[in-house]
Homo-oligomer: A and B are copies of this chain.
Amino acid sequence: MERPIAKNVIDGVLAKMDISDISRATIRQCVAVANKLEELENMHFIHLEIGVPGILACPAGIEAQKKALDSNIAHEYPPIGGIPVLKQNASRFLKAFADVDIDPECIVPTVGSMQASMNLILECSQLDPKKDTILYINPGFAPNMLQAKVQGIKTEAFDIYDYRAEKLRGKLEEYMSKGNIAAVLYSNPNNPAWICLSEDELKTIGELATKYDVVVLEDLAYFCMDFRQDLSKPGVPPFQPTVSKYTDNYVIMMSSSKIFSYAGERIGVACFSPKLFYREYPALRKRYGIGRMGDNFILTYLYVASSGVSHSVQYAYAALLGGAAEGKIDFISEMAKYGQRAHRSKEIFERHGFHIVYDKDLERKVGDGFFYTMGYGNMSCSELMFDLVRCGITAITLNTTGSSQNGIRACVSRLSSDEDFIQLDKRLGMFEDIQKEKTA
């Protein structure tokens, strides 16, 4: 593109799509706006909005899935609790890369981590009549917040920006001490900011979860993707940090979408602390005639949600987790490509006057990974997003992630060719020109 898209063209598209404020658009709406403008203006956008894996699915998964299909499993309902080999391999994988011991029985496949969080939020809200609220440590993945809204479940949330390190304890305690928090949810590495909680921060979360009997829902979608250290050797430290070291009140959600680029087939696992899995809750027994958290997750919630996960896909995920645990699949070096793309594109943004919003993990610079956050001076989310769209760049705004900072989230998954980076540079130059004109 040679010049920015005219404002009135964008306004027209937004009006037609019933979007009153571009900073409130969901990811899927951002995609649709870009697609429409690409058509109208006959050009290509730089898509930084959606986290589609930009790497092909791990071949060992495809092979295992095809083999399963050939062995006559497509007609048989899958066990809702998961096929044994998947449960076993997920357990071995967690031991190898996070040094966590979880009995295979306590690991349950879900239709993506999306289905895990949806049903865990619901189940947690029904464990104890006094505890009816989900606490989100933001910024976070917007659909996780929508899940509570759809299900009519109360929420609380805060932006961690001002509450890192020792400040986290007081902030969490402010909420948890009220006694109404059923669960606390966060992602680590963080979507959208790629910040990584320190062991001390995880310890704080774990201790308070135990103290106030709150379930920690830990989303490890970007498992081992903090590339600042080498997490790639099974059974060898350092390991993926996790709250499970510090409390028995946890469920880890681990998606296949990013680490094995298996997003299309929709599978993840919910890995319960054995203590939680086998724990009896009187409110559940009263409501469903089944008392244990794990039994209900399988026989009540997942049963009516989808009656389990595609049988053949379970075999694929089992092969991927098993291969990685045995050191035969090096998923981390494959993922490290994302880190390289982040490094290169961040440098371009910074050269054009942008700054990283969530820039540090305590003393350390935030790592290069799947996402990063960018701001431009004090520009509001809305204005920043609008001007980027004028230059043929889409992203999502930080306010949609529960952040109170100004800025955008950029996802590097679809930046792959050299030409993509050249175009990014050129268009951010155009963005700077627009800003200069404004102040001229």
Contacts and interface: CB of A to CB of B under 8 A. Distances in A.
Given A77-B264, A264-B311, A265-B312, A72 B52 contact: no
A319 to B, nearest CB: 13
Given A26-B299, A75-B55, A303-B143, A308 B266 contact: yes
Contacts of A415: none
A14 to B, nearest CB: 13
A81 B138 CA distance: 29
Nearest to A65: B69
A18 B299 CA distance: 14
A305 B74 contact: no
Contacts of A316: 74
Contacts of A264: 73-78, 310-312
Given A24-B289, A309-B266, A118 B76 contact: no
A18 B77 CA distance: 25
Interface size class of A (residues with CB under 8 A): 35 or more
A66 interface: yes
A348 interface: no
Given A115-B306, A143-B303, A306-B112, A74 B52 contact: no
Interface stretch (A146-154, A357-365, A385-393): A146-154
Interface in A61-87: 61-62, 65-66, 69-70, 72-78, 80
A178 interface: no
Nearest to A74: B57
A101 B424 CA distance: 46
Contacts of A155: none
Interface in A299-352: 299-301, 303-313, 316
B305 A305 contact: yes
A83 B5 CA distance: 31
Interface in A20-58: 24, 26, 28, 50, 52-53, 55-57
A387 B291 CA distance: 28
A149 B287 contact: yes
Given A61-B74, A76-B53, A111-B111, A306 B304 contact: no
Contact of A146 (B76, B152, B291, B300): B300
A309 B111 CA distance: 8
A411 interface: no
17 contacts: A52-B76, A53-B75, A66-B69, A74-B262, A74-B264, A75-B261, A114-B307, A115-B305, A143-B304, A143-B307, A149-B287, A150-B301, A151-B151, A265-B310, A265-B312, A266-B307, A310-B310
Interface of A: 18, 24, 26, 28, 50, 52-53, 55-57, 61-62, 65-66, 69-70, 72-78, 80, 111-112, 114-115, 118, 122, 143, 146-147, 149-152, 257, 261-267, 287-291, 299-301, 303-313, 316
- The 10 closest A-B CB pairs, nearest first, are A57-B74, A264-B311, A111-B306, A75-B261, A57-B75, A53-B75, A147-B304, A115-B306, A74-B264, A76-B264
Given A114-B303, A264-B311, A310-B313, 10 more contacts: A62-B69, A74-B262, A75-B263, A76-B264, A77-B264, A112-B307, A114-B306, A266-B309, A267-B310, A305-B306
